[in-house]
Amino acid sequence: MPNGLSGFIDRSEDTLQNLKADFIIVGAGSAGSVLAERLTANGRYSVLLLEAGGDDRRFFVQMPLGYGELFYDRAVNWGYLTEADPGLAGRQDYWPRGKLLGGSSSVNAMVYIRGHQADYDEWRASGNIGWGWDDVLPAFRAIEDNEAGENAFRGKGGPLFISANKKDLHPLVENFLAASKECGLPYNPDFNGLNQEGVGHYQMTIKGRRRNSTARAFLRPAMARKNLRVLKYAHVTKVLFSEGRAIGVEFASRGQTYQAHCAKEVVLSGGAVNSPQILQLSGIGPGANLTDLGITPMIDNPNVGAHLSDHQGINYTYEMMVPTYNNILRPWWGKLKVGIEYLLLGRGPLAKSINHAGGFFRSHPDLARPNMQLYFQAFSTVMPKPGQRPILTPDPFSGLSIGLSNCRPTSTGKITLASADPLVAPRIHANVFANDQDVAEMLDAVKFLRKIAAAGPMAKFIKQELRPGPMVTSDANLIADFRERSGTVYHPACSCRMGPDAASAVIDARLRVHGVGGLRVVDASSFPNQISGNLNGPTMMLAWKAAQIMLEDHAAL
């Protein structure tokens, strides 16, 4: 038997005493699920995976367009609120994060983007050896089962099927692509290939009629192995240490407190909010803040929770003269039609994300690479009900949205503890648009978005601009508008960032927490800097490489 496996014979969740494993992974999300699969594959090591949330086998989790129904569902979602943000006109922003098997990969919009090659070369240039583009490309290729096939950049036969998303798209996608071309953006057949710039169809983590989360692609196959135990509803409250080394974790489950111990390592994969929270609860973080809350600092590292980076997005919305998905998703008979189509044929709008197309562009021609991302959605929700994200009940007219988000914001925020109580949500200081550069780039970007809408292939079908509206034209008013209406596009990162020096980072290039043994952080919080695009793909890559690193390290012992 693998080391520590004796605690795995009885898989009942009632037997939570004396849990032992070689590795303990905290969080069964985009990173944790990949780690669990890779670390158990050779059969040598036992793994205990602790997830604060529950199961992913829910209808709206599995149905691709069902993610709108999960947006505010606290049964599967942490449902965080940020602190009031001056950059957002004093508003609090809502940050949904997955709280179930698969984590945010079970509730996201399923767009698969790797990021720009230069993003990773910047990782390596900042002292993180082994994380340049040439270093990470093999991991991306190994993960993928790319529907479009294999080439020098793309993989085939890996555990993660990636849909090319070329069928059953809304007809207005072609108008968007043509209008973008008139504005100077070329068609790009693969944002994850040689070049990122241009517009095209978004690839999706969808397989058949179902969401292809990391729980489905990685964790479910691994759960058949005897050397993996997965505990749901196990909320880790702190890491346990002995003589400067992590030896396990404490966790709460169904009103009781338990401990689990590891022979080798603890790996935090809770994401950009929860991983720094757990470190701080464990005494690793900004010492003065911890002391104020009655937590004895073990390692005073102000970088824990700092350097938080997130992409900010906004939609411009139009009333159309031709039908959009509003016309079919709004009425009861339309819901019935698409429901039958989905259940019987596995096709139609419910079998896809709402982001059929998009792309990347430079808000200024002097930039070396794209700094903005586009999203095309053939539906609109300018009249939402409070507390809802009504993807399945859009506006009662033909509406369309073109959105964008910044790729590499310079403004950074932080995650801090609100309480020493681990069940109290941490404070999220997003600090959006704090730097003039971010404001200037967004201003240029929204002006370009309007150019796309005004180009012939789009303009001929637009009845009127609804948001922000034709009266909003001056720079001051455009800036005021995106401060009042923009928000996260759900890509927080860098809050436990990687770097060679504890004076500016939390973990080293092998993802080990500076100053302690037996503890790593493997998730988007580990990123040294923000990625240009959606983060699910890069997070899976990071976890794949992390598992290789960990197996190498322990094979050498």
Is 356 among the catalytic positions?
A: no
pLDDT per residue as tens, the chain (557 positions): 344 443 343 344 557 888 999 999 999 999 999 999 999 999 999 999 999 999 999 999 999 999 989 999 999 999 999 999 999 999 999 999 999 999 999 999 999 999 999 999 999 999 999 999 999 999 999 999 999 999 999 999 999 999 999 999 999 999 999 999 999 999 999 999 999 999 999 999 999 999 999 999 999 999 999 999 999 999 999 999 999 999 999 999 999 999 999 999 999 999 999 999 999 999 999 999 999 999 999 999 999 999 999 999 999 999 999 999 999 999 999 999 999 999 999 999 999 999 999 999 999 999 999 999 999 999 999 866 555 566 888 999 999 999 999 999 999 999 999 999 999 999 999 999 999 999 999 999 999 999 999 999 999 999 999 999 999 999 999 999 999 999 999 999 999 999 999 999 999 999 999 999 999 999 999 999 999 999 999 999 999 999 999 999 998 76
Interior angle at CA 543, CA 102 and CA 262, nearest 5:
85
Q: How many residues does the chain have?
A: 557
So what's the pLDDT on residue 4? 44
- Tokens 């009425």 label which residue? 331
Return the pLDDT at 14. Answer: 52
Dihedral through CA 205, CA 414, CA 403, CA 529, nearest 10?
A: -60
The conformation of residue 471, written as its DSSP 8-state character, comes to: T
Q: How far apart are CA 397 and CA 248, in angstroms?
A: 55
The tens digit of pLDDT for each residue in 281-300 reads: 999 999 999 999 999 999 99
d(CA 320, CA 379): 10
Residue 384 confidence (pLDDT)? 61
Please tell me the predicted confidence (pLDDT) of residue 525.
Answer: 98
422 upstream amide cis, omega within 30 of 0? no
Residue 299 to residue 293: CA distance in whole angstroms: 15
Q: What is the pLDDT of residue 436?
A: 98
Q: Which two tokens stand for residue 82?
A: 């940020």
Distance of alpha carbon 413 from alpha carbon 305, whole angstroms: 8
Q: pLDDT tens-digit profile of 229-248?
A: 999 999 999 999 999 999 99
CA 298 to CA 284: how far, in whole Å? 6
87-144 confidence digits (pLDDT tens): 999 999 999 999 999 999 999 999 999 999 999 999 999 999 999 999 999 999 999 9
Helical spans, DSSP H, in 41-190: 59-62, 67-70, 117-125, 133-143, 172-182
Of these residues, 364, 491, 514, 554, which one is catalytic?
A: 491
